[in-house]
A and B are shown apart, each in its own frame.
Chain A
Amino acid sequence: MWHWTYKSLLAQPVALMASIATAASAFLLVMVFEAVYAGETEQVVAYLSHTDADVWVMQQGVSNMHMATSYLSDSKANEVRQVEGVASVDQILYLNTVVKSGNQPWFSFIVGLDEGDTRAGPWAMAEGKALPTAGEAVVPVVFARMTHLALGGTLRIADKQFTVVGLSEGTFSMANSVIFMARSDLEDIMGSLDIVSYILVKAKAGMDPVVLVGNIERQVEKVSALTTKQFIANDQTMAMQMGVETIALMTLIGSALAVLLVAFAVYSLIARQRRELAVVKALGASNRSVYLGIALQATGITLASIVLATVLALLLMPAASALIPQLTLKLTLVSVERIAVVGAVVALLASLIPARQVAQVDPLSAFHA
């Protein structure tokens, strides 16, 4: 049976290649879509993941950052500083709004930093300085490339203009791009003084962040505190609703098409061998052998398609990222494995239809024609 499986597949090289090409195209579609989804999912919380804080403190009732409105009097930072187990605190002001560079609008999260606040600022720089002072802004390098913005260039928020002094790495995502400026400038834009949005708390060595959260909520009135891990999880859930969920839906639809195409490719190839399989059966092969042979062919086609699709995806993705800097693509091994398993199951199921037809056929019919 092994020999027949192998020879039978290679006997129709053009049909085999067409089937593999169809299935590989389907797998490539899903891989690319999953890579977009995985990339955005990770990038959407990049800022929170890179800030050096153990606990986040915010306005009571608020539990994330994305699209949230959190305002506290800046005196709360002093109160938090006094809590047992707190090593240090930093504070940021935060606003989401539309930023304009030239005529290009962009929805951004603006983080207002205090002077010298390295913990809440950008973590990697492509160019320029990381901490802006009054009238200055640090923008994601991807945003700068998109809008042809260089150091010394200007961007606008409402009627205020800022000079770009730094280009940060890793701070850009479709749903969550972060621009840094001085807190005083952001207060000015918002028309409010002495307010902060979030307080970033560093715990003393050996202090459990969960315990620290309890301490802060007990000792400081009208604030919510969350461990960084919980805060990131909350934010990711919220940010996913802003665009990333759409990518998930698109991936789902792409996957449905892929399932159909893989099934079509395998079914077409196996169905073409019905007559040959009937002859094999007439020559004494059992139904079990027929099923096994067909299953092997389906698995072979799936594996070859997966390998081809993976190679193509690995070639395509760097080129796509270079051409479209806004894209964050991430193809994971888990994703490839999942696609391979689902693809193999679909291929096996699709091959069962012609296999069943052959199993039910009278072997003599092969010689009637």
Chain B
Amino acid sequence: MFHFVYRQLRHDAGRTMLTITAMAAVIAVILILEGFNEGLLAQLRNTVISRNADLIVTQSGVSNMTATRSVLPQFTRQDVEAVEGVAAAYPITGIPMIYQRGQQRTPISLLVYDSGGGANRLLTGIQPDKARDIVIDESLADKYSLTVGQPFVLSDFEFRISGISTGTAAFFTPFGFIRYDDLIDFYFESDIAADITTFPMLSFLLVQLDNNADRQLVAGRIEDAVPEADVFTSEALAAQDEALGSALMGPVFRFMINVAYVIGILVTGIITFSAVNARRRDFGVLKALGFSQSFLSRSVIVESFLLVLIAIPVGVLFARLIAAVFESVMPLYLILASEPIPVIRTAVASLIFAVLGSMTPVRIIRRLDPSAVFRS
């Protein structure tokens, strides 16, 4: 059987290649679209997790880190550090800004930190260690052709780029990292606003616990000690940010992905159907030569199955290549095009529809009159 199918596929190698390419392209596109969604959520999750905190303290009622305003009273750090089980609390402040150069503008998120919570993966350069140093995300550096050592002017305040980080963008926004020492200067010297009280001085506290301290227990103690604050584990806050991303972009992304699914899978079925239907005459000849109905039907199904089985890894490869190209051109985006669950989902759906697509010509083969082949 497999030898027969193999010979059938080799007989018209050009068409076989074309069919596999078309199926692989469908699979690749579905995986890329899934990859955008998965990447968006992963970026949101990573933004919280890569702050490397055991617990994160937010303003009471605030349960997100990204795209939200959280303002903690200035003395919260001392209160939290006084709680039993807390080794240290590192302050961070998030400020949404717009970076402008010439006519180009980009929304950025300025993350102000003291000693913990800065960018944890530098592509080049060093962490800020001098006055006015800033680390910027690679997507921003790429977009504006910025390199280490160059000035970075934000609201008329001149920073100097000390490093370029990677994996530091979320919610379509690249991050910039500065030290608290520069924050006051930035507020006073820049054109940011006439009234700096409108800006937060402390948004979150990243808490490191003593060895063997129980996270839930310490979280409860902090909430008791600081009623103006809520406390989350990094994982819980990351899950909240993921939920926000899902709620915001999910319905639109999922709609587009589902449309691509339905159409892609339908097309896979049609392609399989067409591939078999085009060889009706050949099947008639084979029937006339004595091949059984069930043999031919099984061979058609096996052929479709094989085509999709070959197309799946090719599709995954296409998807990864396209994702890599997109990410290198637009580093703001993370495209996780080969996550296991979407790959399995797409593979199973493609296999089912390819087999279903080949069922219709099986019926045609069944109805074929072998003698008709010789009459034409």
Query: A interface vs B, CB < 8 Å?
Result: 14-15, 18-19, 21-22, 25-26, 28-29, 32-33, 36, 40, 59-64, 66-73, 95-98, 100, 104-107, 156-160, 174, 189-192, 195, 222, 234, 237-238, 241-243, 245-247, 249-250, 253-254, 256-257, 260-261, 264, 267-268, 271-272, 320, 324, 326-327
Contacts and interface: CB of A to CB of B under 8 A. Distances in A.
A241 B107 contact: yes
A99 to B, nearest CB: 9
A98 B255 contact: no
B63 to A, nearest CB: 7
Contact of A105 (B64, B97, B106, B264): B64
6 contacts: A18-B273, A25-B270, A98-B63, A192-B195, A260-B25, A268-B18
A238 B173 CA distance: 11
A192 B274 CA distance: 68
Given A238-B98, A261-B267, A320-B255, A15 B193 contact: no
Contacts of B271: 22, 264
Contact of A158 (B60, B105, B244): B60
Interface in B54-78: 59-64, 67-71
A160 to B, nearest CB: 7
A241 B259 contact: no
A249 B255 contact: no
Given A71-B194, A105-B64, A260-B22, 20 more contacts: A26-B267, A29-B260, A59-B194, A64-B98, A67-B173, A70-B193, A71-B198, A73-B195, A96-B96, A100-B61, A105-B247, A158-B62, A191-B197, A192-B197, A242-B173, A250-B256, A253-B33, A254-B33, A268-B274, A327-B252
B263 interface: yes
A242 B251 contact: no
A60 B326 CA distance: 36
A167 B254 CA distance: 26
B210 to A, nearest CB: 29
Contacts, number: 202
B67 A97 contact: yes
A156 B63 CA distance: 11
A247 B251 CA distance: 12
Interface-central residue, B191, B249, B252, B271, by most chain A CB under 10 Å: B252
Contacts of B263: 25-26, 28-29
What are the 7 closest A-B residue pairs judged by CB atoms, nearest first?
Answer: A159-B61, A67-B107, A71-B193, A98-B68, A326-B251, A158-B61, A257-B29
Contacts of A242: 107, 171-173
Given A21-B270, A59-B193, A104-B247, A40 B278 contact: no
Contacts of A254: 29, 33, 256, 260
Contacts of B98: 62, 64, 67-69, 238
Contacts of A189: 69
A70 B61 CA distance: 25
A106 B247 contact: yes
Contacts of B244: 98, 105-107
A33 B198 contact: no
Given A28-B263, A60-B191, A250-B256, A107 B248 contact: yes
B197 A67 contact: no
Contacts of A71: 193-195, 198
Contacts of A250: 32-33, 36, 253, 256
Contacts of A267: 18
Interface-central residue, B26, B63, B96, B263, by most chain A CB under 10 Å: B263
Contacts of B195: 71, 73, 192, 195
Contact of A22 (B171, B172, B267, B322): B267
Nearest to A110: B69
A100 B249 contact: no
B270 A18 contact: yes
A246 B333 contact: yes
A264 B270 contact: no
B322 A253 contact: yes
Interface-central residue, A32, A63, A250, by most chain B CB under 10 Å: A250
Contacts of A40: 252
Contacts of A195: 195, 198
B69 A15 contact: no
Nearest to A73: B194
Contacts of B326: 249
Contact of A29 (B199, B259, B277): B259
Contacts of A32: 256, 259
A136 to B, nearest CB: 18
B257 to A, nearest CB: 9
A327 B255 CA distance: 9
Contacts of A238: 98, 105, 107
Contacts of B173: 67, 242
B243 interface: yes
Given A105-B63, A107-B67, A156-B61, A25 B107 contact: no
B59 A159 contact: yes
A107 B40 CA distance: 15
B155 interface: yes
A64 B193 contact: no
Contacts of B199: 69
